[in-house]
Structure 1
Amino acid sequence: MSKRTTGDVFRRTAVVAGVSAVGALVWSSRRRSAGGRHEMPDLPGAHEDGTFHVTPDGRLQPD
């Protein structure tokens, strides 16, 4: 068996800490990113039918 020196242990600890820090930054930035396709609408019911409808010729008409 080879002996582990203090430098080897420090180097391994520094690498593990660096990888963990980068992983935490990536996870945090992806989790907090604004927007995205699963974002909730600003107002309740915003995704539901409003008071307008589209006519066959493509115009908006009030209900």
Structure 2
Amino acid sequence: MGFESKANDLGGKIKEGVGEATDNENLANEGRADQVKSDIKEGVEKAEEVVRDAADKVKGIFDK
């Protein structure tokens, strides 16, 4: 997980915890949403890396 994703995930966990501790459901939900966005972003970054690696391998095959 990249630094930005970790920071967003941590921020989301903090928001969720504060929201639950203060009975602020909106803040808790916002924190959960931040965590989900962080997970999605991390998944997209990993998918981009896999596609990039596969493209490099294919290019290497045709460059021979």
- TM-score (norm. length: structure 2): 0.50
How many residues were matched structurally? 40
- Distance apart, 1:31 and its partner CA: 1.1
Q: Distance in 1 between matches of 2:35 and 2:26?
A: 14
Quick check: 1:21 aligned with 2:37?
Answer: no
- Distance apart, 1:24 and its partner CA: 0.3
Structure with greater proportional helix content: 2
Counterpart in the other structure of 2:22: 3
- The higher-RCO structure (CA 8 Å, 6+ apart) is 2
Structure with greater proportional strand content: 1
Moved over 3 A (4+): 39-42
- TM-score (norm. length: structure 1): 0.51
Return the index of the structure with the highest Cα Rg: 1
- Distance apart, 1:3 and its partner CA: 1.3
Q: Distance in 2 between matches of 1:25 and 1:16?
A: 14
Unmatched runs of 5 consecutive residues or more in structure 2: 1-20
